[in-house]
Amino acid sequence: MNSLASRLLLAATLCSMAILLIAGFTLSSTYRDLVERGFDARLGVYLRALVGDLSRDGEFEKLVFTVGEPRFEIPLSGWYWQISKRLQDREPEIRSSSSLFDRDLPFLIDSDPEKDMSATREAYTQGPDDEALRQVERVVQIGDARYVVAVAGPTGEIDAETHAFDTALTTTFILLGISLVSTAALQVGFGLRPLTRISRAIADIRAGRAERLEGNVPREIAPLARELNGLLDSNREIVARARTQAGNLAHALKTPLSVIVNEAHASPGSMADKVVQQVDIMRQQIDHHLDRARISAGVAVVGAATEVGPVVEGIARVIEKVQADRKIAIEVTSEPVSFRGDQQDLEEMVGNLLDNAGKWASRRISVRIQSDRRSAQDHWVRITVDDDGPGLTPEQRESALKRGKRLDETKPGSGLGLSIVADLVRIYGGLLTLGSAPLGGLRAELRLPAI
Amino acid sequence: MRILVVEDDPDLNRQLVTSLGNAGYAVDHALDGEEGHYLGENEPYDAVILDIGLPKMDGLRVLESWRKAGRDFPVLILTARDRWGDKVQGFDAGADDYVAKPFHMEEILARLRALVRRAAGHSKSDLVCGPVHLDTRSGRVLVDGNQIRLTSHEYRLLSYLMHHQGRVVSRTELVEHLYDQDFDRDSNTVEVFVGRVRKKLGVDVIQTVRGLGYVLGPPEPAARA
């Protein structure tokens, strides 16, 4: 039972079922009471007629009883009356309707002698033909004699009427139950819709399309949203701090390393050679792990967007200045588009590609930034870096993307450049391809998520 | 050639100063941003080596302030933070080249040579004036293919004139660019050095412009004969 919706729905269903059941039983028994009372009233009319006849003068055996209902004359019709005269210490004398033949009705007074003598008794009894009867009975005292007058009719009428009512009631209540439950389902769906919206917003944050939980949050879950935003903020802060600290550590180590390596150079010897060699390894390790740290931290940073054009142009300016002696012209054509990710990461990727192009190009580098939008979700930025250098063979291209590979040891650089680019690209779900450029050299193409 | 080194690590600063001195440069040094900024504003340097992470005044701010004040000497920045973003920032602030720490001193020297040469408008490391060749990379001077031996002060003088050949260089300018700030400046020594260099070269490439200074150019065919 892990869904709020099914919990709410189950509770609503159980409650409305219980209420409907109780209401149904109450209504049904009340209606049955009413029908019984109506039937009893009819029997009471006959009873009063019999009592009227009984109160006339004359011998009990000879009295004529007229009820005015022919069914009392039809044998075993279900409609019966019976009067028994009881005197002290004498066998009771009985008169009854001809419908009874020689049978008799049970006397309610015998089974319930404690009740007030003057009251009318009503009960369900069994008739001579084993049929179910409704019987009313009164005790009349005339002189010394006590008469017990009973009239009975078949319960069929009561049953038929209550059954008809129960059927209608059940149908109505089932329909009512169904509509109550479906109303509850609608309410639950409507009431829980903000939750769906929030889970979508969180998915957006995870995918980097949003930075925080924004928008109208219902009061009940506002604290949750606030806490979530706080968590996001502190997460960002931790990542930023980790980066800064990693940078600080690197900075702190690199100056002493410079001092050591220069000192070693100043006093040549086998020890100095070893020191220089080891410092080189240390520098590579620092760079390598800094990059790793950055890359693993990069994924945690959500909701970043970086305009591509200015980043590429800034790096192009750097390369042009660094390669000033060789007078390499870098031409940047760009469409306005933003990369969905961190600026530093974009700078690393573009920087390494342009740096490579700058080292190998003979005069020209051409960079093209294109927005490749297929739909709102399927939007990419494509950065193509072409140079007019010697280019690479297909085998060289393949091995260039592998870790730490350097194709030419004569050009400066750690050799990690392209593999770092490949790693970053992978993290962003992009694509790095190497090919040959129309200018004659290498073409490197980056495909990265855009926003 | 006169160089300013701004680096807050005293050991690294000393190493740079020593190496540059050995390579034939006149070197001033500063250990923090403020001092470096002051020196760069007031002294005519041929190039500056500037660390980015400096106490008192950040290296990038120092650089920006120089450029705003119109100081256009080439600046080589030293940085431990060699992210591309840092490089872009450095170059946009007015740097001409960068070297990431830790570095080998040869790299600094090579970059510096290239910067000085480029700033004077030369694209090759081999400077030529008539029969005189000066290879900035090896520090060798050849006249008609024969190597000439020069002392470091003589080399500095010739190198400066070779970098700025065809332009009149005053005695004061020579003094300012050949000696660091602690040197006891006496423009008469310049005349002595010019005389010695002329004698060693044996060709008449350094002319005296009366009342203005010296100009270096290919020798007149008549004078040569």
Residue B53 has pLDDT above 80, yes or no: yes
Q: What is the 3-state secondary structure (H, E, C) of B89-138?
A: HHHHCCCCEEEECCCCHHHHHHHHHHHHHHHCCCCCCEEEECCEEEECCC
pLDDT value at position B6? 94
Do B6 and B110 fall into the same domain? yes
d(CA B83, CA A345): 10
Listed residues A159, A179, A195: the one ending a domain: A159
Do B110 and B134 fall into the same domain? no
Distance from CA of B79 to the nearest CA of A (A): 8
pLDDT band at A168 (very low <50, low <70, confident <90, very high): very high
pLDDT band at A407 (very low <50, low <70, confident <90, very high): very low
Domain-located, residue A142: yes
Residues A386-396: tens digit of each pLDDT: 988 888 888 88
Which of A258, A315, A343 lies at the smallest CB-CB distance from B102? Answer: A258
CATH number assigned to the domain comprising residue A360: 3.30.565.10
Residues A211-247: tens digit of each pLDDT: 778 777 888 888 888 888 898 888 888 877 887 787 7
Residues belonging to chain A: 451
SS3 call for A13: helix
Domain enclosing residue A54, as ranges: 6-159
pLDDT value at position A298? 54
Residue A50 has pLDDT above 70, yes or no: yes
Confirm if B221 and B130 have CB atoms less than 8 A apart.
Answer: no
The residue of chain B nearest to residue A412, with distances taken between CA atoms, is B107
**Residues 6+ away with beta carbon under 8 Å from A418:** A352, A353, A356, A400, A401, A405, A432
Question: A281-290, A326-335, A403-412, B18-27: which range is least confident on average?
Answer: A403-412
Distance from CA of A400 to the nearest CA of B (A): 21
pLDDT value at position B38? 93
pLDDT band at B155 (very low <50, low <70, confident <90, very high): confident
Q: Between these two residues, B66 and B137, which has the higher pLDDT value? A: B66
Q: Which of B8, B88, B107, B123 to mutate to test the interface with A (most CBs of A within 10 A)?
A: B88
Q: Which of B15, B49, B84, B124 to mutate to test the interface with A (most CBs of A within 10 A)?
A: B84
Do B185 and B162 fall into the same domain? yes
pLDDT band at B221 (very low <50, low <70, confident <90, very high): low
d(CA A68, CA A417): 118
pLDDT value at position B187? 63
Do B111 and B157 fall into the same domain? no
Do A102 and A16 fall into the same domain? yes
Query: Taking the model in full, what pTM does it have?
Result: 0.62
Q: How many domains does chain B have?
A: 2
Do B159 and B205 fall into the same domain? yes
Residue A420 has pLDDT above 80, yes or no: no
Residue A370 has pLDDT above 70, yes or no: yes
Confirm if A359 and A418 have CB atoms less than 8 A apart.
Answer: no
Do A383 and A292 fall into the same domain? no
Domain-located, residue A428: yes
The residue of chain B nearest to residue A264, with distances taken between CA atoms, is B104
Listed residues A159, A175, A194: the one ending a domain: A159
Which of B85, B97, B101 lies at the smallest CB-CB distance from A258? Answer: B101
Mean pLDDT, chain B, whole residue set: 85
Confirm if B26 and B183 have CB atoms less than 8 A apart.
Answer: yes
Q: Between these two residues, A3 and A419, which has the higher pLDDT value? A: A3
**Residues 6+ away with beta carbon under 8 Å from A101:** A75, A76, A128
Q: How many domains does chain A have?
A: 3
Do A402 and A427 fall into the same domain? yes
Domain enclosing residue B15, as ranges: 2-119
A193: tokens are 């819709």
B-chain CB neighbours of A249 within 8 Å are: none
Do A311 and A290 fall into the same domain? no
**Residues 6+ away with beta carbon under 8 Å from B211:** none
CATH number assigned to the domain comprising residue B136: 1.10.10.10
Q: What is the H or E stretch that residue A384 is in? A: strand A379-387
Distance from CA of B58 to the nearest CA of A (A): 15
Residue contact A317–B92, C-beta within 8 A? yes
pLDDT value at position A51? 87
Residues B163-192: tens digit of each pLDDT: 888 888 888 888 888 887 777 666 677 888
Cross-strand bridge partners of residue B135? B126, B140
| Strands (DSSP E) found in A363-412 | 364-373, 379-387
Q: What is the ipTM of this complex?
A: 0.71
pLDDT value at position A303? 60
Domain-located, residue A111: yes
